[in-house]
Amino acid sequence: MLLLVVLCLAVFPISTFAADAVQVQIPVSIQTSGETPSPEENYTVELQAVDDAPMPSENVLEISGSGKAFFSPIQYTTPGIYYYTITQQSGTHKRGHYDQTVYYVKVSVTNGENGNLETVIAAHTDADMTDAKCDITFTNYYKPIKKTSESTTETIPTTKRKPETKPGNKTSIKKSKNKVKTGDNSNATLFAILLLVSGTGLLIIAISRYREKYHK
């Protein structure tokens, strides 16, 4: 019996089976604020491994405008704790201010109850990973566009301008031709006075001649 077992082992060697592999995709979000350009920029995010941690097929992720995307799957075959850093590359827009936060990511791979591998992803903003967990989000800000010209409203003056006077010339002011009428009574009175004055003059002349005639 023992000989049969030995023969079987020689024909069918024993293989050591590991737990099934597990894949993880790390999510990244981009947010923008301010006066965003049109069309929107493409933002580049990079994943770097620490201590030879498994890497995805592509460690560079491009996101167009605001949105969320995932890195290519990372495959793990053995339990362990794996560390990464995620950063955003600076853009080229002259009004843009790009988030330079460094995210420190820890992927914990453990054996599940059924023998399958299970993963937990945790991201932090400090290298010691002692602060609270957070989402991996880069916020980019754009300054407002400076206006090169502003519309102005012309103000029309309400005051009358004084006539310009050239040297040596007098300013002529037109007088009103309209005279104030005082009525017919005033005209009759003036005519009577003129007659009285004329009569008195004639009387004085006549008296003078009379005296000259009889005194000769």
CA distances to 86, 148, 180 from 64, rounded to whole Å, are 18, 29, 88
Query: What integer pLDDT is reported at residue 211 of this predicted model?
Result: 75
Residue extents of the structural domains in the chain: 19-142
Query: What integer pLDDT is reported at residue 5 of this predicted model?
Result: 37
28-72 pLDDT tens trace: 999 999 999 999 999 999 999 999 999 999 999 999 999 999 999
Model confidence, pTM: 0.60
Query: What integer pLDDT is reported at residue 149 of this predicted model?
Result: 67
Question: What does the alpha-carbon distance between residue 215 and residue 6 come to, in Å, rounded to a whole number?
Answer: 201
CA distances to 50, 80, 137 from 83, rounded to whole Å, are 5, 10, 18
The answer, yes or no, to whether the previous bond of 73 is cis (omega within 30 of 0) is no
Rounded to the nearest integer, the mean pLDDT of the chain is: 81
The better pLDDT of the pair 122, 13 is held by 122
pLDDT at 172 over 70: no
Nearest CA-CA partner of 104 in 85, 81, 120: 85
Query: What integer pLDDT is reported at residue 18 of this predicted model?
Result: 46
- What DSSP letter does each residue of 5-29 carry, written as one string? HHHHHHHS---PPPPPPEEE--EEE
Name the percent of the chain lying above pLDDT 90. 56
Q: How far apart are the first and last CA of the chain?
A: 208
pLDDT at 173 over 70: no
100-150 pLDDT tens trace: 999 999 999 999 988 899 999 999 999 999 999 999 999 999 999 988 765
Question: What does the alpha-carbon distance between residue 107 and residue 26 come to, in Å, rounded to a whole number?
Answer: 9
- Phi and psi torsions of 69, nearest 5°: -145, 170
CATH of domain 19-142: 2.60.40.3050
Q: Which residues contact 44 (CB under 8 A, 6 or more apart)?
A: 60, 61, 62, 88, 89
